Structure 1
């Protein structure tokens, strides 16, 4: 059974039987049938569908937001924001998808030669629980605008979110007299993913998840000679230099660390601060963190909700306890709370060194880790001393210095004097064990197309 648990109470709330092998085969075959129709639609029809989905999502905002809050514990105001961002993503590709995919003339010995971008077919998206709507739309909107169809294997802990996402696309298609089934929800266990990837119908895979999951999916996709885009974990550094606006840096990095209870791949995870402003930064960061309200995510005043699962909270506490035993100072939190639900206190660990647990591993929770660097060069070395390379931020009053440091940061995304975030207009993705390929922006829509060269003789 696929069982969802409300992390606020610890109680099971849904139980669904997974698709059996026959049902899964039928869904895959249906996607092939739908693709034959969908690929013949024009950009105008695809854009109309995406705009209609955005409209339907906004109209059903309250119900959809509460699905996220109940199933994975996202504070309700953040759930509203995630829905709006998902609608924006759909509208962005509706507006710019045709431009991103326009043919490109290239000179050659032909009378006319060009490259065009054609759909591949059925694309499998393997999605996590931490941003159920946003990550689904980040995958589906560009793929659909390119003329592909989507099979969505969502995390089994957010089943109603997954159902609702697929229903939104079916509703939009029905209202516009377009083929239903362009996005199909596959309620399956992770062990069944291999069957989908191996199907001749499926042409490519997109996965957002852990490095371990990415390695398994990438290996299987490669064995089938199928492309994959992987957005994996991160241990994202934020470098705070001595000349930075310390107040702004502390305030912004506190927000970056605790959004979604810290359960975000691109959250600021290692705050690396130059020695001369180290104590000042810690004092201001602590002031922001200790004011945050942890509690019931359905209440609008709540800023930090529960950890999504009990096993994840246990792993987080192990990381914190080990790091403290290794010599870090804990200035806030750090103790497992009593009571129902999977709550964990906002925690501040300082004097963390590169060999400590909270630096070596990705921390997925409201845990701020502060490290000291004697110079900008040492800060850069600490930042790059990780197997991950997803995102980073640099804080300095010297913008040119920030730009020069960005050139040396080993990450797919760098923010200078601002919060690291994803944006439909800009490509997002990582290097090293944080994955490969890009989502969003013009680069994202080009990941799953046939870049076809056409040569025309005289």
Structure 2
């Protein structure tokens, strides 16, 4: 089926799907969650083949997709008309699905990113067309097959095997009413500008350079273990990975050796073995780019703690560098196994360092003191602040960024209202 026919099919399906009750849609989502759980090993192997993720992490990704889908399948219906108290007999807000929504999704979490967008959009009564990363067309096709096997009508979810050049054409198509993009700042700006010119809704989840802040009253061992995982799971290829480790000056000598020890436990191995905790990057060019950023950081004064070493076309021995404020590398996102250490004099300085970047996705703070926790919660410029835990998304809670990390909400019940029109109904 060509692109025009697929978009026509999505529009035709929407005309019927929008009239299906939320309860009936949820029944199908329950079936989708079961399909994900039932086929998780097969689906995970596909992820690992496509983008090199260690198989244990690929299985965890599918399990999280099933958990999220089940959450929406069993959630209370917040889309029913909302009655507002006024002097009028009839005074309501209705939530009306927009239509066909385009998802432009990345390769780093091939199932999670696509389903995180698609499930709430579809539950809200929209139909979805997916433009996946070129190395993940197999995942896109498998997701479409899962929707069909779960009993969803044809055309509710379709995978489009198209390149970046065709995204503009899809977004300009009259059937398409909005777009959700997860990706780079540059890609987000391009897609948002096309959506804006065509007066269509856009939701952007873009890059991050998240701070992982360790204060002098933190649990050092737990912080060190979680810090290494925060930087190196998925080979460091996550928007909300811990990337800048801001350590309070008076604990540098005590904490840094613990962190280095945990960091060195991540050694590239065969991604198909369950014990492997680190594999190669998704593509050789991504490893090339990270090496260039490493050299740039060093050129502007960064100190090597652990050297970043190229082991093969995609494999890198994880690196750690000590970076001071003003290094231009801090204005970029490091997507891969390279962490940055920064030293803060006190809490105020730690907040200044954490906020002094273009991004604002999520930050993690390690302190037992509730007053200190409150200070960081109130002053960090990010969509999420995690206290004494690794930054991660949770289906029950909203996920999104501030500043150049994008706008709009994914996950939680709030996501159900991202791609709907509010219709006011009023009268006597």
TM-score (norm 1): 0.91
Q: Counterpart in 2 of 1:15?
A: none
CA distance in 1, matches of 2:55, 2:238: 16
In structure 2, runs of 5+ residues without a counterpart are none
Q: Counterpart in 2 of 1:219?
A: 193
Provide, for residues 188-225 of structure 1, a one-character-per-residue CA deviation record: whole Å limited to 9, x for no partner. Answer: 01000001100110011000000000000000000011
Q: 1:83 Cα deviation (Å)?
A: 0.2
Q: Counterpart in 1 of 2:281?
A: 307
Q: 1:394 Cα deviation (Å)?
A: 1.1
4+ residue stretches of structure 1 with deviation over 3 A? none
Select the residue among 393, 396, 404 that pairs with 2:364. Answer: 393
Q: Counterpart in 2 of 1:170?
A: 148
Select the residue among 26, 32, 45 that pairs with 2:5. Answer: 26
Q: Counterpart in 1 of 2:114?
A: 136
Q: Counterpart in 2 of 1:161?
A: 139
Are 2:85 and 1:85 equivalent residues in the alignment?
no
Select the residue among 378, 382, 392 that pairs with 2:349. Answer: 378
Q: Is the 8 A contact 2:244 2:342 kept in 1?
A: yes
* Equivalences for residues 45-444 of structure 1 within 5 A: 45-96=24-75, 98-173=76-151, 178-337=152-311, 339=312, 341-350=313-322, 352-444=323-415
3-state SS in 2 of match to 1:407: helix
CA distance in 1, matches of 2:70, 2:422: 24
Provide, for residues 224-277 of structure 1, a one-character-per-residue CA deviation record: whole Å limited to 9, x for no partner. Answer: 111110000011112212222222211111111111000000000111111001
Select the residue among 404, 423, 427 that pairs with 1:452. Answer: 423
Q: 1:357 Cα deviation (Å)?
A: 4.4
3-state SS in 2 of match to 1:215: helix
In structure 2, the CA distance between the partners of 1:313 and 1:357, relative to structure 1 (3 Å rule), is: farther
**Equivalences, count:** 428
In structure 1, runs of 5+ residues without a counterpart are 1-18
CA distance in 2, matches of 1:24, 1:196: 8
3-state SS in 1 of match to 2:315: coil
Select the residue among 17, 21, 35 that pairs with 1:38. Answer: 17
CA distance in 1, matches of 2:289, 2:246: 23
Q: Is the 8 A contact 2:271 2:278 kept in 1?
A: yes
CA distance in 2, matches of 1:90, 1:137: 8
Q: 1:356 Cα deviation (Å)?
A: 2.3
CA distance in 1, matches of 2:59, 2:141: 18
CA distance in 2, matches of 1:322, 1:334: 13
Q: 1:321 Cα deviation (Å)?
A: 2.1
3-state SS in 1 of match to 2:34: helix
Q: Is the 8 A contact 1:293 1:301 kept in 2?
A: no
Q: Counterpart in 2 of 1:10?
A: none
Q: Is the 8 A contact 1:126 1:206 kept in 2?
A: yes
